[in-house]
Structure 1
């Protein structure tokens, strides 16, 4: 296959054929670098490390030095394919069947990366360069993994160089059914908590000689999971808490365990921030523990707080581009999980728009050629109008 980087279909196929399962780069970033450098982009390969996590290769490519500075953020790492035998096409083939491109990452999010690269190169070729401002790509290999050695550290690196980004588009697949359905303008925050209730191990026939932590943990979980966080806000759905793991360090049925552990995940809206949501959990636990005499510890983990990009020039520029190509007026939403936009929101306004997300992380992940081509056109109009109006 001859690679034409202004054709989003062949570029998507080429990226899919790079087996870049987190944290392996798989050749995907090298492919993008080889495409962007001939167009004038200055490329930096940034490998970041952290104890206890795998090293991650990232790419930052920039054309121009002035403002406004528009950046596209995305990732080339993908989740594992699972059982290859149940795929109807090889997961890293990039095969085309019935007008659809198949393969792991076709939607999440190599197709989106390919579409923006194609749109950017067409814009640059048409204008014989970048007429004004700067255009950059912030591509990580760590979005599907711990998200420690990726976007967060690229942003720190940019700050150390005094590079300012004025606006960012994240190419996450944002549309539930059809291209043009939704633009993501925010995300709920996410925080994990681990609760450890301590007891005294003993024989189940002699409970008076032990202290069973399991019923106490159950009472704490009940208090947390039945408490109402809020009713939602005009921009966000209600916050929610879910218990995800319950465990004890033994499997014997005649042994009372010495401790019991629960893990919870909270998705919270803009009525909360990380410190206030943690304080809420601590308060609920303290009251419940006092009722049952539980001795416990709680710890928190997770990265990224809630954010919202209010309607304004960035949102309207993207909305107009989507409507002009698809005929749809996209809904402005804040649903879904998390993305690297949760880090980028700290440096500039950020929005998300990409392909239809119906098959992400699934067997036979795929996107239609029509959607790829339309997304490229949307991105092209967005780039044109951003540099025209900002």
Structure 2
């Protein structure tokens, strides 16, 4: 793909509103990418999910040997109030060397760059594949089904084209989201002594968490964090609340078992339920394949989680990196935009990774075993 083709395809993808939960829109976008690739080169095999809640599409070259896999989610976060955007979020425009629209950075720009690399792979007979997943933004919900599609495919390495300023990132923290609930006894708000305030029980636990939660630190992934994301209680101002709940977002450097144990041990809580649990992602920066890639390997982790958390469970010995165009600050941002130069750099990087794949993959595979 030349520059115009890259920009045109990105415009087409951004124009499709694939906000998380819009299943058919995500399925349509995946089909559009697959059709676009097949129109330019027929040497692809396309597999798709059955009519299910979380669509996925796998496009791969007809080649032999371990595959280099690009894994891209196609959903985006909500735009919020469209009226405060400088340009309509689903009517992409290119101006002064910058492409504007929801999803340009997270991560349709990376998807376009990966598609371009896949076309090069087909023309050179390289074993390269593109996996498109759904609903990553709300907890990598589509990744388990998509990951199952790789069962019969030998995967040698994975690139996840999220925004990294085109630097290679070898890991990120996991995520543990919990819903903590407390219970009490309702009473009239004028006589609170007759009731048992569930909200006060819950806030007492949350206050302890600020100083007592056993957050760990990791040399490569950084420190664990926690955030009170949502809280609710009561039915009216003049009623003592009988129930209260809070949703906690914790970013973990391992399985998060120690954090789950802490919440479950707290007096004042009636229940603690897991909403989301994703392990941390780690790839050895010294892997020979990484050293041969045409970009800088960063010593910092990605601040966000990716589908790599799920893929790493089914591909435990496979190097997985996060590497793509755009700056992380534009992810989920108002007036999200991607410089054309960043998109072109990612495209050239991915083409370089494809070009050296069979040679460097052999060294990487031997290092693994």
| Match among 128, 151, 158 for residue 135 of structure 1 | 128
Q: TM-score, normalised by structure 2?
A: 0.87
* Equivalent position of 1:275 in the other structure: 257
Distance 1:258 1:334 in 2: 42
Structure 1 contact 225–242 (Cα < 8 Å) conserved: no
Residues 312-335 of structure 1, C-alpha deviations (whole Å, 9 max, x = no match)? 1232233xx01xxxxxx4423223
The gaps in structure 1 that reach 5 residues or longer are 50-54, 323-328
* Equivalent position of 2:290 in the other structure: 315
* Equivalent position of 1:233 in the other structure: 218
The Cα of 1:172 is off from its aligned counterpart by 0.7
Distance 1:245 1:210 in 2: 24
Q: TM-score, normalised by structure 1?
A: 0.82
The structure that has the greater radius of gyration is 1
Distance 2:101 2:17 in 1: 10
Structure 1 contact 183–333 (Cα < 8 Å) conserved: no
Change (3 A) 1:247 1:19: closer
Structure 1 residue ranges, 4+ long, deviating more than 6 angstroms after superposition: 3-6
Structure 2 contact 62–122 (Cα < 8 Å) conserved: no
| Match among 28, 45, 50 for residue 48 of structure 2 | 45
| Match among 242, 245, 253 for residue 258 of structure 1 | 242
| Match among 290, 299, 302 for residue 335 of structure 1 | 302
* Equivalent position of 2:280 in the other structure: 306
Change (3 A) 1:184 1:8: same
* Equivalent position of 2:31 in the other structure: 30
Change (3 A) 1:26 1:194: closer
| Match among 67, 79, 82 for residue 69 of structure 1 | 67
1:54-133 pair list within 5 angstroms: 55-125=53-123, 127=124, 129-130=125-126
The gaps in structure 2 that reach 5 residues or longer are 362-369
| Match among 177, 180, 199 for residue 214 of structure 1 | 199
After alignment, is 16-25 or 104-113 more displaced?
16-25
Q: Confirm or deny that 1:364 pairs with 2:354.
A: no
Distance 1:185 1:303 in 2: 20
Change (3 A) 1:277 1:307: farther
Structure 1 contact 355–372 (Cα < 8 Å) conserved: yes
The Cα of 1:67 is off from its aligned counterpart by 2.0
Aligned residues: 351
Change (3 A) 1:48 1:336: farther
The Cα of 1:212 is off from its aligned counterpart by 2.2
Residues 103-131 of structure 1, C-alpha deviations (whole Å, 9 max, x = no match)? 22111111111112112323433x3x33x
Distance 2:304 2:193 in 1: 45
Distance 1:48 1:145 in 2: 20
Distance 2:348 2:111 in 1: 13
Structure 1 contact 48–153 (Cα < 8 Å) conserved: no
* Equivalent position of 1:174 in the other structure: 164
The Cα of 1:146 is off from its aligned counterpart by 5.0
Distance 2:81 2:284 in 1: 42
Q: What SS does the aligned partner of 1:310 have?
A: coil
Structure 2 contact 289–360 (Cα < 8 Å) conserved: no
Distance 1:139 1:295 in 2: 40
Residues 35-65 of structure 1, C-alpha deviations (whole Å, 9 max, x = no match)? 223341111121453xxxxx23321111135
| Match among 115, 140, 147 for residue 140 of structure 2 | 147
Distance 1:27 1:220 in 2: 45
Distance 2:88 2:169 in 1: 32
The Cα of 1:13 is off from its aligned counterpart by 2.1
Change (3 A) 1:260 1:342: same
Residues 58-82 of structure 1, C-alpha deviations (whole Å, 9 max, x = no match)? 2111113532211000022222333
Root-mean-square deviation (Å): 2.3
Q: What SS does the aligned partner of 1:300 have?
A: strand
